[in-house]
Amino acid sequence: MEVTRFAPSPTGHLHLGGARTALFSYLFAKANKGKFLLRFEDTDRERSKKEFIDSIIDSLKWMKITPDEEPIYQSKKISNHKEIALKLYDQGFAYACDCSEEQLSEMRKDQISKKQKPMYNGLNRDKNIKFSEGMVLRFKFPLHNSSAFDDLILGKINVENKEFDDFIILRSDGTPTYNFSAAIDDIDMKITTVIRGDDHITNTLKQINVFKVLDKKIPNYAHLPMVLGESGKRLSKRDGAEDILEYRHKGYLNDALINYLVRLGWSYGEEEIFSLEKLEGIFDLSHVNSSPSKYSQDLLNWYNNKYLNFLTSDELIFKLREDFKVDFGELERGDLAISLLAKGANTLKEISEESKYFFQDPLMNLESAGIGKDKKEIFIDFKNQLSKIDFQQEEIETVIGSFLKLHNLKFPELGRPLRMILTGKQNAPSISELLFILGKDISLKRIEYSLND
């Protein structure tokens, strides 16, 4: 059975790149009838915060990514990690190192001056120093040949062992380091496939060697190429790398974000729209692109607009009421109003902001509406014509057409100022739809106000 995991460090909120990693790990597990697990790598005592743990859990919950078991906290397993590190020391796979910060600094300076890669040079590797409190334990990385694995996305990865140093597995304060703890936890959790960003390739090669000395089965690895910003550089907050819950606060739908994220580097024929349920059945790592993806705000907006218009008016009314405290249910034709706004909106927040004129009169005078004094009589006549009909949309359209013909007007000469009178905005939905949704009383009252101001 496939078992995957998402293992964030709770030193910040869940951002778009991490959310994609979690989603791919979850979908791979579900598509293979396996388990998806969550592990918090919270051993950084200074930076790990409960608020970030809660935020990550809330973000995953909003994205409908549900772990199959309770989260694992790495900080609760430190004693086990330390015990195994000491066993490796006893078995000769690790060694004690008492190098001071000054020695390490001089080592780096010397290497840099010789244009060498700064790394630990193995000074204490063969000294057989007896380990005592305050020292670090270093892993004896193989000196010869290379370390390799077959990546499920990137193919064969092979790096000469001379590129690695003897990395620390136990710090001087007795706490284990990331690469060692991650490998031990993957063993304990019986992880079969690790899916993560390609910035972890070096970590993977280190962890594979830990698996080897412990004589444990090495998981499969799939490294996702990074997500670039629209500028082509590494994704930054300005490009969209912000807290996933911020997307919710801005009015994006979770289904739309899921669909968008899965399409960042994954494809399935010519299809563009995928429900989470469908993805759980068809997701395959062989369809993941091996080159970086680029974040696109326009494409995310396109997806969100699609999903907004998949919703019924009742569903939209509920979401606007819950998330933005705007209640279209208070309007006589609120279902039509919200559906009309959704056609051109990118987010729920946009609908909320655009909806103000349905709830309050814009109070526009002739000058603000762009109506000259010489045109006032024309608008008085238009108001009188509207007052004579039942205010069904077809009747409204007929009146508008006849009125334009009678006064030899082009539509913008009536439409632009009338739109300002009705909404206070230059850009708004069609005039006939607006008049119908606002209703006879409100429409005539707003026109009357502008004419009498």
- DSSP-derived letter for residue 130 is P
Residue 293, token pair as written in the block: 């993806």
Residue 141, pLDDT score: 98
Residue 237, pLDDT score: 59
Q: Which spans in 239-375 are helix H?
A: 244-249, 254-262, 276-282, 297-310, 313-324, 334-344, 348-354, 356-359
User: Are the CB atoms for 116 and 140 separated by under 8 Å?
Assistant: no
Residue with tokens 């579900």: 30
Closest to 36 measured CA to CA, from 63, 8, 7, 5: 5
* 421 sits in which H/E element: helix 411-423
Residue 427, pLDDT score: 80
> Beta strand pairing status for 193-197 and 220-224?
parallel
Residue with tokens 């326009």: 298
Q: Quickly list DSSP for 288-314.
A: B-SS-EE--HHHHHHHHHHHHHHS-HH
Is the sign of the CA dihedral 100, 102, 105, 107 positive or negative? negative
Residue 365, pLDDT score: 84
Domains and CATH numbers, the chain: 3-70+227-294 (3.40.50.620), 75-224 (3.40.50.620), 311-359 (no CATH), 373-452 (1.10.10.350)
User: Are the CB atoms for 30 and 280 separated by under 8 Å?
Assistant: yes
Residue 96, pLDDT score: 98
Residue 153, token pair as written in the block: 């996305």
User: Are the CB atoms for 349 and 304 separated by under 8 Å?
Assistant: no
CA–chain centroid gap for 5, Å, is 18
Q: Quickly list DSSP for 135-147.
A: -EEEE----SSEE
Per-residue pLDDT of the chain (453 residues; tens, 9 = 90+): 999 999 999 999 999 999 999 999 999 999 999 999 999 999 888 888 999 999 999 999 999 999 999 999 999 999 999 999 999 999 999 999 999 999 999 999 999 999 999 999 999 999 999 999 999 999 999 999 999 999 999 999 999 999 999 999 999 999 999 999 999 999 999 999 999 999 999 999 999 999 999 999 999 999 999 999 888 888 765 666 689 999 999 999 999 999 999 999 999 999 999 999 999 999 999 999 999 999 999 999 999 999 999 999 999 999 999 999 999 999 999 999 999 999 999 999 999 999 999 999 998 887 787 777 778 888 899 999 999 999 999 999 999 999 999 999 899 888 888 998 999 988 877 899 999 999 999 999 999 998 886
